Structure formats: C-alpha cells, structure tokens
A = this chain, B = another copy of it.
Amino acid sequence: MSVLKGACLFGQSGGPTSVINASAAGVFLEALKHDEITDIFGAAHGIKGILDEKFYDMRKEDPRELELLKSTPSSALGSVRYKLKAAEEDETDYIRIYEVFKKYNIRYFFYNGGNDSMDTCNKISKYLQSKNYECRIIGVPKTIDNDLVGTDHCPGFGSAAKYVATTMMELYLDTHVYNTPLVTIVEVMGRNAGWLTGAACLADYKGYGPDLIYLPERVFSVEGFLDDLKRVASRKKGKVLAVISEGVKDDKGRYISEYQSELDRDSFGHVQLGGAAVVLGGIVSDRLNVKVRPIEFSLMQRCAAHIASATDREEAFMAGAMAVRYAIQGNTDKMVAFARDEKSASYRIDYVLVDLSVTANAEKKVPLSWINPDNSGLTSDFVDYALPLIQGEGEYPTEDGMPRFARLKKVPAGRR
C-alpha cells in the first residue's frame, strides 16, 4: 500500500436525505484518525464549492457537533445539482478543479450522491489522471430513490421507507375512522424507480396498508385505475387507500401530473402546482363522484430524521467511514457499495467497492417479477428485501421537545 499524504475534501450532491449527514460524519470522524490526511475540507454546495473555492475547515468543528450530524437531516454543507460536461466537450470546469485541487493539495476526494454524482467523480478522476495528479476518489452512495446499480440498496432509502411505512399505517387508521366512502390517493417520490413507493407495502404487511400501489416500472392507465378503485370500493364499503409514484406514466409516456397543468396552461397561462395525486384525485372525483383526498408526502419523506431507520443511519455512517479507509488503503475510482450476505440467516451486509463507471448514470429499478400480476401491489420478495432496512428507531437528541441538530461553525478554509 502506497502512502499518500494530503488534504481530503468531501462534498454533498443531489437531493438530501434523512441520513446524508451521517455519511458526512463517517467521512470526517474517520479522516480525523489518519495521519495521511493533513486537512479535512467540506465543500459548500458540492462541486459548486470546488469551482467557487468555497471550503469549510472541518478540523475546526467540535467533534460533538460532528457526531450530531448523524441525526441532522438534509445536506449540512449545502447541496447542488450540477452536471459536468465531458472534458472533451468543455474543459473549463476541469481546469478549474485541477487548479483548486493543486492549491489545497487535495489527495482524497469523497463525493456523496446518486448516479449523477458518481459520474462527476468518474470524470474528475479521469481528468486528474490525465494530468498525472494523484488523487484517490471514492463515491459515497446516497438516494431515497434506491436506484443505484452495483449496491444492494442505498443509504437514505431505509429511513425514507420507514417514514412511508409508518405514515401509511397511521393514515390507514385515520382514513378508516368514518363510516363513509373515501378514496385517499397518496403520492410518493421516485421519478423512474418505484422502490420508495413500494415501501408502502410494508404497512400492508402489518395489516394497515394501502389497497393499491402503482410503481413507475409499469405503464399507468387512468381507466385501469378507476376500475381498480371501483373493485376495491365495492368490497370495502367505498374506502380505498391507494399509493402512486410521482413518476407514473401512461402508455404514451406522459406523466399523470402533466394532465392538468396542460389544461391550465392553455386557458389561464398560469402554472398548476398540484402533483400526480391532486390531478388524479380531480379525475376520480369527477368520474366516480366520490369524496377524494390527495396526499403528497412531499419533502417530509426525505427529511424526517425523527423517524430515521437506525440500520440506515448506521450504514450511512459506515459508508462514509469505509470510503476513507478504502482510500487510505490505495483504492480509487470506486463507490462504496452494500453487499447483502444472502447466506446469513439474519440480515448482514459487507461494505464493498464497485467501479464508479458501473453506477454512473445507470438506474436500478424494481424487478418486474416483484410486482403483482395485476400491477397494483408488491410480492413478498419486496417485503423480504425492504423489511431489514427499516429496523431500529434512529434516536435523536432533543432540546425543548424538538430535535437538537448539529450546529457547525463552517470556518472558511485558509489556503495552503
């Protein structure tokens, strides 16, 4: 193993999760243990912070506050959605990144995000290699969408799934208190992959679940949906609890949420902000003349750290810590991934490495064989897969009956 001395840089990218900062804590607290790492920088707003040369000196933070990052949702350093162009197409950003890395002697770069972020890591790594600048680059996975290829699951998914399952159970009880017909349509995040929407089936597994679940992996038909509703309603005294992914599309590839906005845009020129549940709810109300309540889990599903999965939080932390350990050992151009030990009787994962190129820009979807033949529910394979990921209550310190989040000083890093 070759010893590489220098600064480490960590950045957060893409949509936040309840446990994304647990990975940050993993990176920072592990980095503090290694003499090879001379400085620990946090990039403000991910790749944007590199281009703008906006770094925080994480050594100046109180280690107790770094510990509190474990239960602090959303991206503490700030996030960004920024897609690097190919270097052959436009070298500007790469020249700037190379310059900044040299200036701060950054030799370890950890980037926390989804498939776009892994693509970013990959491109930066290739460019620095072409300049013979030695830098070990490891991606740390993160996404409530759970759609990264090469890993059993992704940090952030378990906590979002626990939110969905628990909230669905609570909503089941709430929507069944009156003796009158009611169609409830809950919209869950996940544009192209139905993992998080599928987690609603965990509530059903406990007996408090939705009657119908629709993933974006299958074509969605409004007429089919109305038929399904009528079928369930006739069996259950008019009470139906349905869950749809925000990303369900019809056979022409059109998102359901686009149905109404097009109408509204045409006639009034103003924007209609309702999502798929609101739009579909309007159609159901019109066509079936029944009381409908559309519900969107909105941002809550990705930031409800108060109901984080302890398993997810621990794995997110370890993903960050293992990224540092693997880099110190000489690895680069990899992403930390979770390999489930299928031979173990109880749930167990190993922290392994996969090539960045494997995850970059690919999407893992729910296997079609895990979706019921009638397209409106999940099989027990899904339950077996997802149940271990939501185990354990992620404790969080409180102050005045509210969460005590990490308070970072965010001291700007001085140049070396």
**A residues with CB within 8 A of B:** 12, 16, 45, 48, 72-75, 78-81, 162, 165-167, 169-171, 173-179, 202-203, 205-206, 208, 263-264, 267-274, 278, 281-283, 285-286, 292-296, 298-300, 302-307, 309, 387, 390-393, 398-403, 405
Residue of B nearest to A392 (CB): B401
A303 proximity list for chain B (CB < 8 A): 170-171, 173-174
A167 proximity list for chain B (CB < 8 A): 300, 304
The winner among A179, A302, A393 for most chain B CB atoms within 10 A is A179
Pairwise interchain contact B282-A273, C-beta atoms closer than 8 A: yes
Pairwise interchain contact B398-A302, C-beta atoms closer than 8 A: no
Residues A304 and B170 in contact in the complex (CB < 8 Å), given A45-B178, A391-B401 = yes
Output the least CB separation between A72 and chain B (Å).
7
User: In the bound complex, how far is the Cα of B72 from the Cα of A205, in angstroms?
Assistant: 17
User: In the bound complex, how far is the Cα of B392 from the Cα of A80, in angstroms?
Assistant: 36
A74 proximity list for chain B (CB < 8 A): 170, 173-174, 176-177
Pick from B273, B300, B401: contact of A170, CB below 8 A: B300
Residue of B nearest to A287 (CB): B270
User: In the bound complex, how far is the Cα of B207 from the Cα of A405, in angstroms?
Assistant: 10
Output the least CB separation between A248 and chain B (Å).
17
A75 proximity list for chain B (CB < 8 A): 177
Pairwise interchain contact A173-B72, C-beta atoms closer than 8 A: yes
Q: A78-B176, A79-B178 are in contact. List 12 more A-B contacts (CB 8 A).
A: A16-B177, A74-B177, A166-B306, A173-B405, A174-B302, A174-B303, A270-B283, A271-B286, A273-B293, A293-B299, A295-B299, A393-B398
Query: Can you name 19 A-B pairs with beta carbons within 8 Å?
Result: A16-B173, A16-B174, A73-B173, A73-B174, A79-B177, A162-B401, A165-B402, A166-B306, A167-B300, A167-B304, A170-B403, A174-B299, A174-B302, A270-B286, A273-B285, A274-B274, A295-B299, A307-B307, A393-B398
Pick from B174, B178, B282: contact of A270, CB below 8 A: B282
Output the least CB separation between A288 and chain B (Å).
11
A274 proximity list for chain B (CB < 8 A): 272-274, 278
Pairwise interchain contact A177-B78, C-beta atoms closer than 8 A: yes
Pairwise interchain contact A80-B178, C-beta atoms closer than 8 A: yes
How many monomers of this chain does the complex have? 2
Pairwise interchain contact B299-A169, C-beta atoms closer than 8 A: no
User: In the bound complex, how far is the Cα of B393 from the Cα of A398, in angstroms?
Assistant: 9
Pairwise interchain contact A403-B169, C-beta atoms closer than 8 A: yes
User: In the bound complex, how far is the Cα of B176 from the Cα of A278, in angstroms?
Assistant: 26
Residue of B nearest to A14 (CB): B177
User: In the bound complex, how far is the Cα of B24 from the Cα of A230, in angstroms?
Assistant: 34
User: In the bound complex, how far is the Cα of B389 from the Cα of A400, in angstroms?
Assistant: 10
A173 proximity list for chain B (CB < 8 A): 16, 72-74, 303, 405
User: In the bound complex, how far is the Cα of B257 from the Cα of A274, in angstroms?
Assistant: 13
User: In the bound complex, how far is the Cα of B329 from the Cα of A394, in angstroms?
Assistant: 45
Output the least CB separation between A272 and chain B (Å).
6
Pairwise interchain contact B282-A271, C-beta atoms closer than 8 A: yes
User: In the bound complex, how far is the Cα of B292 from the Cα of A384, in angstroms?
Assistant: 38
User: In the bound complex, how far is the Cα of B268 from the Cα of A167, in angstroms?
Assistant: 34
Output the least CB separation between A192 and chain B (Å).
21
Pairwise interchain contact B170-A78, C-beta atoms closer than 8 A: no
A267 proximity list for chain B (CB < 8 A): 267
Pairwise interchain contact B271-A171, C-beta atoms closer than 8 A: no
Pairwise interchain contact A390-B405, C-beta atoms closer than 8 A: no
A263 proximity list for chain B (CB < 8 A): 268
Pick from B273, B296, B405: contact of A169, CB below 8 A: B405
A73 proximity list for chain B (CB < 8 A): 170, 173-174
A12 proximity list for chain B (CB < 8 A): 177
Pairwise interchain contact B272-A282, C-beta atoms closer than 8 A: yes
The winner among A206, A274, A393 for most chain B CB atoms within 10 A is A274
Residue of B nearest to A161 (CB): B401
Output the least CB separation between A198 and chain B (Å).
15
User: In the bound complex, how far is the Cα of B347 from the Cα of A401, in angstroms?
Assistant: 14
